[in-house]
């Protein structure tokens, strides 16, 4: 049997770490939804960097840079963290450096796993199919909000865990996975209303950035799975 | 307004730390339920120690010692972590040193807060009344399992948050508090069945220690609130 676990915060990652597992990193509002969108729109390669200093250094070398903190695009950057920023006209065929508040840190952390995938509702069925075909343990890492638990990533973790656990070669004894699936079960038929209570929704709204919330909860717009090799993210066409 | 927050793991405590808050530490299966029981049965003072070495040093000085790891009582100790161990005959009027896998570490961590209380279903209404009367922020710290999220502590956090938030001087924008309340809402009318899926239940059962699960989910057997002053735990008779 293969095991499904969910880690609610990058600060808990070392307690869940599993070098044999496929690690799916998720940051639904908005980094992982933006990354999947970038590959839908033909980006060639994304380089996730943890610090703004690194992002700036790349910018000086001539790279196109997407960088935000707390939802706000940084002055030196070409654009920020909205999936809508990663349009075909802008990203097709390009290499882009990307730095966000929570998501890019989580991606680097996850690289101790066997393989690091970027997950969002936009590619959830493709992800589940790929994971089941690999027949490996699955660890879902929620980017959270500054190390705190967040609901939107946890709901996605529940949704993905539920899809994978439909296959009887997978099981779980992880309380976080069970809790996430129960929360997703509560929310799924009324996602728009449920997401009203999410703290990040209010942060985005305050900055006029909440236009993407519906889009970030759409299922299966693509089969593409972004994969991180420890240095950059490219696409698996599943 | 005063805020309610929930921290799902000691490893996240520094991200939720609030020196002005009352911190309620909970470890439902079984440390916080055992501590409340000890005070119901007249213990005078409990000294929580983090390491087994400290517990052993107290034993050599002649103290009565309760100490377990992974549910199993340690050889040198007088008894372990079951609430049933803290009977009136054994603990009335005594000072006892206490060390557990998760609970005692969480209690020490919480001492950066304004006041540290020990919470369980056994004293939940008294706790809520006391917190509301103090009119301070509330942070509920779940002891978890070796830094991982656990369901039984999270459900209790949801139950306590719900009681406190009935008072309109309290509010929350904490995703963990909202998630915990939703999980408690799912579980509360079928707690015995829900708790079946909890990982700790299986750990306890494996070691024949699951006889206390029903007891640890009984509400309001006492008004006593154990309070930690940074060195030892005594009782508030609320």
Residue B201 has pLDDT above 90, yes or no: no
Does B13 contact A at CB distance below 8 Å? no
Does B151 contact A at CB distance below 8 Å? yes
Quick one: pLDDT at residue B204?
A: 85
Nearest CA in chain A to B151: A175
| The pair of three-digit structure tokens given for residue B213, joined into one six-digit string | 């699960």
Omega before B174 within 30 of 0, i.e. cis: no
Quick one: pLDDT at residue B139?
A: 98
Quick one: pLDDT at residue B89?
A: 97
> Is the Cβ–Cβ distance between B150 and B199 less than 8 Å?
yes
Quick one: pLDDT at residue A171?
A: 97
What are the pLDDT digits (tens) for B115-153? 999 999 999 999 999 999 999 999 999 999 999 999 999
Q: Which CATH superfamily is domain A2-225 in?
A: ComB-like (3.90.1560.10)
Quick one: pLDDT at residue B205?
A: 85
| The pair of three-digit structure tokens given for residue B51, joined into one six-digit string | 């390491």
Does A196 contact B at CB distance below 8 Å? no
What are the pLDDT digits (tens) for A185-194? 999 999 989 9
Residue B221 has pLDDT above 90, yes or no: yes
What are the pLDDT digits (tens) for B26-47? 999 999 999 999 999 999 999 9
User: Please, which residues have CB within 8 angstroms of residue B205's CB and are 6 or more apart in sequence?
Assistant: none
Quick one: pLDDT at residue B209?
A: 81
For residues A4-28, average pLDDT: 98
Provide the 8-state DSSP code for B78. Answer: S
Render chain A in DSSP notation, one character per residue: -EEEEEES-GGGHHHH--TTSEEEEE-TTTHHHHHHHHHHTT--EEEE-SSHHHHHHHHHTT-EEEEEETTEEPTTSSB-S-GGGS-HHHHTT-EEEEE-SSHHHHHHHGGGSSEEEEE-GGGHHHHHHHHHHHT--EEEEE-TBTTB--HHHHHHHHHHHHHHHTSTTEE---HHHHHHHHHHHHHGGGHHHHHTT-HHHHHHHHTT-GGGHHHHT---S--EEEEE-SS-EEEEE-
Quick one: pLDDT at residue B31?
A: 94
Chain B positions touching A203 (Cβ under 8 A) are: none
Disruptive mutation site among B175, B181, B202 for chain A (greatest number of A CBs within 10 Å): B175
What are the pLDDT digits (tens) for A64-81? 999 988 888 999 999 999
What are the pLDDT digits (tens) for B66-78? 998 888 899 999 9
Global confidence as pTM: 0.96
Instruction: Judge: B151–A178 Cβ closer than 8 Å, yes or no.
Output: yes
Does B156 contact A at CB distance below 8 Å? no
Q: What percent of chain A has pLDDT over 90?
A: 86
Chain A positions touching B8 (Cβ under 8 A) are: 8, 149
The CATH-assigned architecture of domain B2-222 is Alpha-Beta Complex (3.90)
Residue A201 has pLDDT above 90, yes or no: no
Which has more pLDDT, B197 or B231? B231
B84-88, B99-103, B105-109, B213-217: the lowest-pLDDT one: B99-103
Q: B200 vs chain A: nearest CA distance in angstroms?
A: 9
- Domain chopping of chain B, boundaries: 2-222
When pLDDT is cut at 50, 70 and 90, the band that residue A159 belongs to is very high
Does A13 contact B at CB distance below 8 Å? no
């Amino acid at each position: 049997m293969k095991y499904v676990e969910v880690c609610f915060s990058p600060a808990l990652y070392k307690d869940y770490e599993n070098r044999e597992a496929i690690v799916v990193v998720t940051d639904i509002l908005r980094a992982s939804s933006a990354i999947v969108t970038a590959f839908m729109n033909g980006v060639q390669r994304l380089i996730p960097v943890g610090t703004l200093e690194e992002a700036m250094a790349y910018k000086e070398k001539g790279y196109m840079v997407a960088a935000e903190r707390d939802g706000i695009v940084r002055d030196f950057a070409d654009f920020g963290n909205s999936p809508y920023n990663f349009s075909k006209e802008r990203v097709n065929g390009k290499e882009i450096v990307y730095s966000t508040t929570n998501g890019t840190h989580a991606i680097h952390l996850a690289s101790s796993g066997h393989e690091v995938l970027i997950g969002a509702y936009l590619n959830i069925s493709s992800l589940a199919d790929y994971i089941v075909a690999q027949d490996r343990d699955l660890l879902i890492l929620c980017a959270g909000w500054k190390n705190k638990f967040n609901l939107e990533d946890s709901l996605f973790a529940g949704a993905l865990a539920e899809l994978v656990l439909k296959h009887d070669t997978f099981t779980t004894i992880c309380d976080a996975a069970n809790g996430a699936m129960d929360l997703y079960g509560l929310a799924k038929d009324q996602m728009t209303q449920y997401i009203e209570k999410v703290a990040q929704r209010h942060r985005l709204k305050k900055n006029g950035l909440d236009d993407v919330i519906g889009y970030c909860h759409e299922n299966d717009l693509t089969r593409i799975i972004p994969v991180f090799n420890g240095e950059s993210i490219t696409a698996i066409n599943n």
